[in-house]
Amino acid sequence: MNPDEIILWQPIRTSPLLGWVRLKVSLLRSRTLQQEILTDNILVAVVALLIDLMILLAVLYLPGKSFRRAVGFAQSLTTRPGNRLDVQGGSREINTLVDALNVSSADLKRQRDLLERQHHQLADLNLNLERRVQERTEELIESRKSLVQLHQAVTQSSVGIVMLDNDFCAIDCNPAFQVMTGFDCEKIVVQDVLDLLWSKKNPRWLMEEIRESLKCGKPWRGELTIHHASGDGLWVQMVLTPVRDELGELYYLLTMDDISERKAYEKQLIHQANYDALTGLPNRVLGMDRLRQAIRVDQRKQRKTIVLYLDLDRFKQVNDSLGHRIGDLLLIETAGRLTACVRQYDTVSRLSGDEFLIVLSGVEDAVMVESTAEKILHMLAQPYQIEDRELHVGASIGIAVIPDDGQSADDILRYADTAMYQAKQAGRNHFKYYTQSMNEAAQQRLRIDTAMHTALENGELQLHLQPVVTPDGKPAGAEALMRWRSAALGPVMPDVFIPIAEENGLIVPMGQ
């Protein structure tokens, strides 16, 4: 049998009968093909191995290089954020890592830019803070300087200053307060300062007004009398001011100034403006004010007010002969006597010179008026012992009644003056009630006095000579007589105008 050949029997069915076919196959070609296939397989294996080696080199070299570049890039992000890493030929994982690093780089750049901006802002804020700290430091220095100056001013102030808590107890006070009140600040810290300083001379409602004002948050200021530690009274100008601190706590600042000298001076001025410096009686201004007050009160109570106008008799002779000093002493003595003749609530005032006004208020009995007038005349008729001299004077009184004679204080005073003049005309040391006829006579007297001032200039006064003869009819001389024919009043008798001329001083130019 040939080893290069193989015989195969292959069954076949060509008819209902099974048959066999003998196949003869040469193996030489097969072996040739096998050798070719083996050769090809070996060649393929070698090529595949080379490819694997190349792939292995690529896997080992290229990714390592990319990874090293990525590591170096990552290290550079802290100094150069924002740069991009470009890796060609890397694997997916490397490319993903590179993309992540690029994103991180961009984020880091943004963060760095933000940090740089914040750094600049912080630098600006730091500069501003330093400037404000410097300014605040300077303000604090100035504030401390101001506080020191304020403390020195409060300490050295002549005004009493005390800080009170909500219960009006002293917290602190300056030396002027202690000197002014006589109280030691340390000893009054548990006492109500208002109650401590309060004087009974103040009205009761004033304390309520002060506390109510402070309760409403309003400051109070006014003048009042305080109680000194020695027990004396002291006039002060006080100011109480509510003060709240930064926490809202309520305090009170009390300041007061000693105005005792000013009050004494004001009292002196008021006394000088309303009282006669010589006699100490109310002067004309205060006397008329008292008269008006009495009229209002008596009108409401439907009672009468009596006005007595008094003028001393023969006072001018005493004053001219003995001098003003004696005259002043006589007036002082007269004031004392007049005051002793009336009730305590009646008014005696000096109008001018030797003229006095007496106001009797709330009179219901006319007998009381006459008894008072007679008592005054009797007292003034008594001898005056002035130094080593005994002097005698009297008085004439005119009386007017409100509302019988009028309602106005000025009119009543004028009516009483008219009645007083009539009392003098009646013989002095008398009193007269005012009547309407007195007013008519006074007006006629005024018209004569007015016309007399132009009579000389107009040539209305004429000199008449009346012969004087002896009992046997022989002429012995002539008597000069003045006659006045007024253009406004007609003929005026000498017994009418001569007394008026003697009073107004025109008798001298008439004689010339």
pLDDT tens-place values along the chain, 512 residues long? 555 555 555 555 544 555 554 555 555 555 565 565 666 556 655 555 665 565 555 555 545 555 555 555 555 545 555 555 555 555 565 667 666 666 766 776 787 788 788 788 888 888 888 888 888 888 888 877 877 777 777 787 888 888 888 888 888 888 888 888 888 877 777 788 888 888 888 888 888 888 888 888 889 999 999 888 888 888 999 999 998 887 888 889 889 999 988 888 888 888 888 999 999 999 999 999 999 999 999 989 889 899 999 999 988 888 888 888 999 999 999 999 999 999 999 999 999 889 999 999 988 877 888 899 999 999 999 999 988 889 999 999 999 988 888 889 999 999 999 899 888 888 888 888 888 766 566 667 777 777 777 777 777 777 777 777 777 777 777 777 777 877 777 777 777 777 777 777 777 777 66
Identity (one letter) of the amino acid at 8?
L
362: left (phi over 0), alpha (psi -120 to 50) or beta: left
Between the two ends of the chain, the Cα-to-Cα distance in Å is: 219
Residues 6+ apart with CB under 8 A from 305: 291, 294, 295, 298, 359, 360, 361, 362, 363, 401, 402, 412
Measured CA to CA, the distance from residue 193 to residue 180 in angstroms comes to 14
The Cβ-side half-sphere exposure at 250, using a 13 Å CA radius, reads 12
Comparing CA positions, the residue from 371, 303, 296, 379 lying closest to residue 336 is 379
**Cross-strand pairs, 26:** 5
Q: What DSSP letter does each residue of 51-89 carry, written as one string?
A: HHHHHHHHHHHHHHHHHHHHHHHHHHTTTSTT-----SS
Measured CA to CA, the distance from residue 209 to residue 217 in angstroms comes to 13
Per DSSP (E only), the strands in 248-334 are 250-258, 304-313
Measured CA to CA, the distance from residue 222 to residue 205 in angstroms comes to 13
Work out the angle between the directed axes of helices 284-300 and 260-274 (0-180°, nearest 10). Answer: 80
Measured CA to CA, the distance from residue 391 to residue 318 in angstroms comes to 8
Provide the greatest CA pair distance for the chain. 249
Measured CA to CA, the distance from residue 147 to residue 164 in angstroms comes to 19
C-alpha torsion angle, residues 44, 49, 54, 58 (rounded to 10): 120
187, two tokens: 């000893």
Q: What DSSP letter does each residue of 177-227 carry, written as one string?
A: HHHHH---GGGSTTSBHHHHHB-TTS-HHHHHHHHHHHHTT--EEEEEEEE
328, two tokens: 């002043």
CB atoms within 10 A of CB 439: 17
Each domain of the chain, given as residue ranges in start order, spans 157-265, 277-434, 449-512
Strands 394-402 and 431-433, bridge-based pairing = parallel
Phi and psi at 226, nearest 5°, equal -110, 165
Strands 233-244 and 18-26, bridge-based pairing = unpaired
pLDDT of residue 30: 56
Residues 6+ apart with CB under 8 A from 117: none
Measured CA to CA, the distance from residue 82 to residue 183 in angstroms comes to 82
Phi and psi at 433, nearest 5°, equal -85, 145
CA angle 54, 56, 58 (to 5 degrees): 70
pLDDT of residue 43: 62
- CATH 3.90.79.10 assigned to domain 277-434? The reply is no
pLDDT of residue 49: 62
pLDDT of residue 14: 47
pLDDT of residue 9: 52
C-alpha torsion angle, residues 374, 377, 379, 385 (rounded to 10): -170
- The topology (CATH level 3) of 157-265 is Beta-Lactamase (3.30.450)
Comparing CA positions, the residue from 17, 19, 1 lying closest to residue 9 is 19
CA angle 158, 161, 165 (to 5 degrees): 175
pLDDT of residue 15: 47
Global model pTM greater than 0.75: no
78, two tokens: 């802290």
Phi and psi at 227, nearest 5°, equal -95, 115
pLDDT of residue 320: 87
Q: SS3 for 481?
A: strand
Identity (one letter) of the amino acid at 316?
K
Comparing CA positions, the residue from 253, 214, 260, 254 lying closest to residue 236 is 260
Residues 307, 402: contact at Cβ < 8 Å? yes
Residues 316, 393: contact at Cβ < 8 Å? no
pLDDT of residue 28: 58
Residues 6+ apart with CB under 8 A from 286: 274, 275, 349
Residues 423, 472: contact at Cβ < 8 Å? no
Measured CA to CA, the distance from residue 245 to residue 247 in angstroms comes to 5
Residues 6+ apart with CB under 8 A from 163: 170, 171, 172, 173, 251, 252, 253, 254
